[in-house]
Copies of this chain bind each other. A is one copy, B any other.
């Protein structure tokens, strides 16, 4: 005889379960119990435990005693509701829902209106006085039950509805009348019989038992198993089943349904906020067919004023809940207090009023904008509801983007003409310009410009910098345009497939809409949307609440945050945003200035060593000047400078015209220049002659760059400025490459130091961005003083995926869940992360306490920052505008780790296996 408690009841003001019993009752069941316990008027019901599911999965039958408990609980439910299942006057209807401890798509979801049969439908009609409502509910029940419980293709039912509409000559489901619905009930029952071979069950108990069986059965269906496998969900007993009384907001004018937030989720004001509709179902509020009314009179009035609606008309047509159902409103306002006191966070609740009686159907943490999140967190600390750590944990880091960039005024109506990738956040308004030179000229004469190109290259830097924002037709989240734009903090939409450009006529099209140079356009780099006009922008401020929150974050974090910056301007900006150094200073951009590129080109094109050296000598003062500016801006902080990385052909012209110009400048035959350019072309430049491979074949380049860095450092040290240069060798795949370049760098550095007679402390280290480097990190760490993960390239090579070319299939991959995310945006912890962990472990095995950072694009993405923290990195580095996001993420990870430690749990970083 089973003594175990199989079923937990929840009702008015009390429940047998609680929020702590998630494992046994599932998330939904525990939450329903919790709401009942704190006195919310939850429609009563009961939860069948996950243990029953486990027993059922093993034995294909129910534990002894289960039947009795089910019967008892059903009776209790009928008593509490004062209604009976199958009753011919006022029948009880119930919903049946699955709910495991973790939410899990792929399992059987929901059956509504259970309990309807030829008798009870009459009771329902009698009670509501609405035959259409009754028959519609019944046919919905048959359809849902048939589809969800008996796995009948939903199309079979939909097809019958279509036939009915055709027959009746109507277009919408809502145009069908009570009689039609009644007829559909009959037809649906036939479909059911044809498909299952049995009659549609009339006995509510049979309906209920079949539904419970189906929920439990769905626990082990292939979709659910795959979902658990893909999401590494293990150790769950099974799913629970929730059986709950149905309530209806659409029984008449005394009924209503709505949603509400305990504070304003847009701006964070401490103000009750919500919408409702009388005589409606929950889905009507969100469906947008009827305009919902506000809950509070204040909001209602504000809205009406914006619409220029008279108070009279508002009251007549859009009265608030406060006005129409003051008692329910009063109860709801009380519940608002109760919820925030209990959950200590903003709640998003769903309610239904059935014939004047208020029911709370659901409450959950309220989603909010970034601005609201910051305000609410800081307000709650001031109200002494939460502490600072909790406040820091409350704000989703990536939402800070909103606070850091101009945004399109959320209240403005805009006309979206196309969509690309949200490549660099913020919105920008400007005139369309199709090339860099024109963009620079227009900007000089005071025009606001959006640079619109198929793709950008390093030669476009000038125009990109002059433009308000950048829009490209090709390329992905880590294309040149995207990376550079994020670095500059300029909004960018990349890879807009809807965009076709004709450079020759200086026009472009978004699908069917044509635009020409000078036309206004707005891009939203946070959403990827393009608006074919000037949209109004709003600019947020970085002081006040934001500054306080960031201060708390810095107090709690224990991982450094640096920035990727190539110019003194970027470095200063990043310092303002709280960066503690430069993690990646790319030197290649420094060669693109008008007076610099010719020397660079001469260096590349000259055959003889002396010519090359002479050209390099010309570049030295420019490089040095750049470094002086950057060191000065980052005074006292470390600056990691990467030696030349891109293949040399990136510095050479491509068009015939430009080649001719260059040949003239160099005083060399055009044919020779062309030949040389051709000989430098590469089939796969990403995997070509670049990075340390350049330094190895042309050590003079590494030497010149080292000299520039150390001379700059010496000069500033003499001035009394504290500089901490770190020289980084890129694209290492073997320890021998590193040793080769380290020798070149150190010898030149020591030479300069001796010449200048100034003491400069510098470090030499390497970028870890090639899979092989991770595998031999122990060997590299024998000489390298630091590692910095270049996770952009590491992702490219670990996946065998070019970020520039992935645009053709990556979106489809993410859409069809082949990949959970774009791995160039969110670090792939399973694959790339495994290599990162291997490298950290191997590196620190050879060199205890080795300084390790990350300077890929992932350094500013919250989940990746947290991964870096758990993996034991010393710092992350990201573009200036993402520095606050990284700071907040690092703080959250530190707090989380501390909490796990305090709760005796293994810190999550430790749980993951590391390659030896």
Contact = CB atoms under 8 A, between A and B. Distances in A.
Interface stretch (A335-343, A689-697, A707-715): A689-697
Contact of A831 (B775, B793, B799): B775
A354 B737 CA distance: 50
Given A696-B812, A697-B808, A697-B812, A685 B686 contact: no
A733 B801 contact: yes
Nearest to A738: B818
Given A693-B809, A771-B798, A771-B835, A804 B915 contact: no
B797 A737 contact: no
A772 interface: yes
Given A830-B776, A835-B771, A913-B916, A689 B809 contact: yes
A740 interface: yes
A533 interface: no
**Which of A686, A801, A819 has the largest count of B CB atoms less than 10 A from its CB?**
A801
Nearest to A475: B683
Contacts of A740: 816, 818
Identical subunits present: 2
Contacts of A736: 230, 817-819
Interface string A737-770: 1001000000000000000000000000000011
Contacts of A435: none
Interface string A814-834: 001111000000001011101
Interface in A790-810: 793, 796-802, 804-806, 808-809
A734 interface: yes
A682 interface: yes
Contact of A687 (B770, B772, B802): B802
B835 A775 contact: yes
Interface residues of A, number: 53
Contacts of A731: 800
Contact of A696 (B793, B801, B804, B813): B813
A684 B476 CA distance: 14
A838 interface: yes
Interface string A134-166: 000000000000000000000000000000000
A217 B312 CA distance: 104
Contacts of A913: 916
**Which of A685, A800, A817, A832 has the largest count of B CB atoms less than 10 A from its CB?**
A800
A830 B688 contact: no
Contacts of A776: 830-831
Contacts of A771: 771, 797-798, 800, 831, 835
A799 B697 CA distance: 17
Contacts of A797: 687, 771, 797-798, 800
A345 B804 CA distance: 58
B818 A684 contact: no
B804 A683 contact: yes
A871 to B, nearest CB: 15
A809 B697 contact: yes
A54 to B, nearest CB: 24
Contacts of A734: 818-819, 831
A418 to B, nearest CB: 17
A816 B736 CA distance: 10
Contact of A684 (B805, B809, B916): B805
A482 to B, nearest CB: 14
A687 B801 contact: yes
A278 to B, nearest CB: 47
Interface in A697-742: 697, 731, 733-734, 736-737, 740
A688 B915 contact: no
A647 B688 CA distance: 19
Contact of A802 (B688, B801, B819, B835): B688
Nearest to A691: B800
**Which of A772, A801, A831, A832 has the largest count of B CB atoms less than 10 A from its CB?**
A772
B770 A799 contact: yes
A224 to B, nearest CB: 16
Contacts of A689: 805, 808-809
A793 B804 contact: no
A518 B798 CA distance: 47
A834 B805 CA distance: 28
A672 to B, nearest CB: 13
Given A686-B687, A813-B696, A835-B775, A800 B793 contact: yes
A775 B793 CA distance: 17
Interface in A479-531: none
B819 A798 contact: no
B687 A687 contact: yes
16 contacts: A682-B805, A684-B686, A684-B805, A686-B687, A687-B800, A688-B802, A688-B806, A688-B808, A696-B812, A696-B813, A697-B809, A733-B831, A740-B816, A770-B799, A771-B798, A775-B831
Given A683-B805, A688-B802, 8 more contacts: A230-B736, A684-B805, A688-B805, A689-B805, A693-B809, A733-B798, A775-B834, A797-B798
Interface of A: 230, 682-689, 693, 696-697, 731, 733-734, 736-737, 740, 769-772, 775-776, 793, 796-802, 804-806, 808-809, 812-813, 816-819, 828, 830-832, 834-835, 838, 913, 915-916
